[in-house]
Amino acid sequence: MTTQSLPIYQIDAFTDVLFAGNPAAVVPLSDWLPDDVLQKIAMENNLSETAFFVPNAGDEADFHIRWFTPTVEVPLCGHATLASAFVIFNRLGFEGDLIKLQSQSGVLTARREGDAIVLNFPKQPIKGETVSEEVLEALGGVKPAETFGVVSRDTDIVIVYDDAAIVRNMRPDMSALGKLAGRGVIVTAPGDKTGLDMISRYFLPALGINEDPVTGYMHCVVGPYWAEKLGQVDIIGYQASARGGVVACKVDGDRVHLKGEAVQYLKGEITVPA
């Protein structure tokens, strides 16, 4: 079998220190590989997301980006986009402070701002939706304040609690949750510490990820919810996973600006079919 070598980076996103935030693999490409190879690379990496991007020939964007979990391709991912922008800015010699990325979710941008990167993502609207008692039991059985579904991505439900301690201390039955929900489950509550407006977590056992450590996309769901609830456009969110991470959100109409830092953990080389 003929093979080729490709560069790979592992970046901790939404953190300024190693071993925190959310790790993503980033694989720059000159041309797209077959979809099944992209999926196998993501499965082999076994991180919540692997991002791939190729130079874009048109004027609308600088690169075309795609994201894969170990089991599926997803239409939008924040932390792997932040990781990709970090690589493009700091490792690939990109000139300028603004990157335009074509994706399944339209054109996204990543802007350099000091040591941080600001992503411009589409707001993810929600609508009221009933969640089964079985799913709530798998989450611990606490009665929620509200429940929603994500309108633009019919694979996620949102469960709002009144107390951040419920979210922080939650120990879901992942096996049951993956079978019952069949989709991602976002849990969120008001912030419980000075400087935090909200606390959230994101469980995706049905997609091969028990818990995503720090999620940009999720903050495009819960950020606008809490912005409306609190009557402010700037929201500081903490994702209370074991690794943990802070995401600064600014709601701007139908867009959400997500600000965070990233650090490189690994640079290497992978071997794939040519």
Give the highest mean pLDDT range of 46-55, 178-187, 205-214. 46-55
Determine which helix (DSSP H) or strand (DSSP E) holds 79, and give its type and residue range. Answer: helix 78-90
Average pLDDT on 119-135 reads: 94
pLDDT for position 209: 86
| One-letter amino acid for residue 148 of the chain | F
pLDDT digits (tens, 9 = 90+) for 2-40: 999 999 999 999 999 999 999 999 999 999 999 999 999
What pTM, to 2 d.p., does this model score?
0.91
pLDDT for position 154: 56
pLDDT for position 181: 74
pLDDT digits (tens, 9 = 90+) for 233-265: 999 999 999 999 899 999 999 999 999 999 999
By annotation, the residues acting in catalysis are 49
Bridge partners (DSSP) of residue 266 are 10
In whole angstroms, give the CA distance from residue 13 to residue 82: 6
pLDDT for position 1: 81
pLDDT digits (tens, 9 = 90+) for 139-189: 999 999 999 999 875 568 999 999 999 999 999 999 999 888 777 899 999
In whole angstroms, give the CA distance from residue 48 to residue 243: 13
Place of tokens 């997609």: 207
In whole angstroms, give the CA distance from residue 46 to residue 10: 12
Average pLDDT on 116-132 reads: 95
In a 10 Å sphere around its CB, with 0-12 CB exposed, 13-18 middle and 19+ buried, how is residue 74 labelled?
buried
Count of all residues that appear for the chain in the document? 274
In whole angstroms, give the CA distance from residue 119 to residue 65: 14
